[in-house]
Structure 1
Amino acid sequence: MGKDLTKVDKVILMCSGYTCTKKGSEEHILALRACIKDNALEDKVHTIKTLCMGQCESGPTLQVYPEGIWYKEMTIERAKSVITSHVMKGQLLDNILFKEGDAVMHPAEDLSSKTKK
C-alpha cells in the first residue's frame, strides 16, 4: 500500500531535469528526503521528483505547495533549510526565494493574465 496522502500538508516538487541534475539535484533531493525522515515528517510532507521545471538558469529549483513558493539555486544545506525553516517554522528563505523581478521567474499574476486570452 502506498502513502496515505490524506495526511499530507505540504508537497515539494523537485526538479531533476538534465541541467539541474548536472548541478547536483539528485544529492539535494536525497538530503531533503533524509531531513524529512530525520524530523519525522514523512506523513506530513510528500516529495515528487519532476522532469524540467523550466528554470534551468537558476537551478536546481524546487517548489513548495500549497503555497506555490519557488526556491532557486539549491544546495544540500539549502534543501535541508527548506524543511527546517519553511516547512517546520513557516519561515521563507528570502536569499533563495524567487521574487517578482527576478530575471527568470515570472510572477503567477503575470502568467495568469496572459493565459486568459
Structure 2
Amino acid sequence: MTTWNLEGMKKHVLMCNGSSCMRKGGEEVTVAIRDEIKTLGLDEHVHTSRTRCNGRCKDACVVVVYPEGAWYEGMTPDKARLMVQSHLRDNVPLQDSLVYQFEEGQLARTSHTEAIKGIQKNKDEKKESVKL
C-alpha cells in the first residue's frame, strides 16, 4: 500500500464509491476528478480519497471537498471536471451542485438545493448540542 506524504496539501477530495454512487457513475467521476487534477497540475496541493458510503445516497454521485466542507450532489464526469477547475483551482465552489457547506463552524444546507433533507441524526430534541 502507498503511504503519501500529505504535507503541503491544501484540499482533500472525498469521492464516494459506495454502491449507490457506483451505480450512478462513481468510477467515472473518480477518474475524471483525478485526471483533471493531473491535467491542471494540482497534484502537489490536492489529495483524493475514495470512500465508501457517505450517507447521502439520494444525492449520488457525492463528492466532498475539505477543508471547506463542500458537499456536492449529482456529480457526473463533466460536472466533476468543472468542479476541479472552479473549486480546486479557482477556489469558487460549483454552486449548482452544492448541497452543504460550512457556515459559522457547522455544516449548513445551501439555500438553492432541492436535495432531500434526510433523516435527522439527533432525534432527541432535548439533547444539548456539543461544543467541539
Fold shared per TM-score above 0.5:
yes
Match of 1:104 among 100, 111, 117: 117
Given the two structures, how large is their TM-score scaled by the length of structure 1? 0.85
Alignment RMSD, CA only?
Answer: 2.2
- Higher normalized contact order (CA 8 Å, seq sep 6+, divided by chain length): 1
| Rounded Cα–Cα distance in structure 2 between residues aligned with 1:72 and 1:87 | 16
1:14 correspondence with 2:15:
yes
Aligned in 2, Cα 1:22/1:10: closer, same or farther, shift over 3 Å?
Answer: same
State the SS of the aligned residue for 1:14: strand
1:60-100: per-residue Cα shift (whole Å, max 9, x none)? 10110001010000000111111100111111111100052
Q: TM-score, normalised by structure 2?
A: 0.76
Letter in 2 for 1:92: P
Secondary structure, in 3 states, of the residue corresponding to 2:28? helix
Aligned length: 111
Higher relative strand content: 2
Point out 4+ residue stretches in structure 1 off by more than 3 angstroms. none
Q: 1 CA distance for matches of 2:39 and 2:94?
A: 20
- The sequence identity of aligned pairs, in percent, is 34
Aligned equivalents of 2:18 and 2:90: distance in 1?
A: 29
Match of 1:57 in 2: 58
Question: Which ranges in structure 2 are unaligned for 5 or more consecutive residues?
Answer: 101-108, 120-126
Q: What 5-or-longer segments of structure 1 have no aligned partner?
A: 107-112
Aligned position for 2:39: 38
Question: Which letter maps to 2:75?
Answer: M
Q: Work out which of the two has the higher radius of gyration on C-alpha atoms and give 1 or 2.
A: 2
Q: Is the 8 A contact 1:55 1:104 kept in 2?
A: no
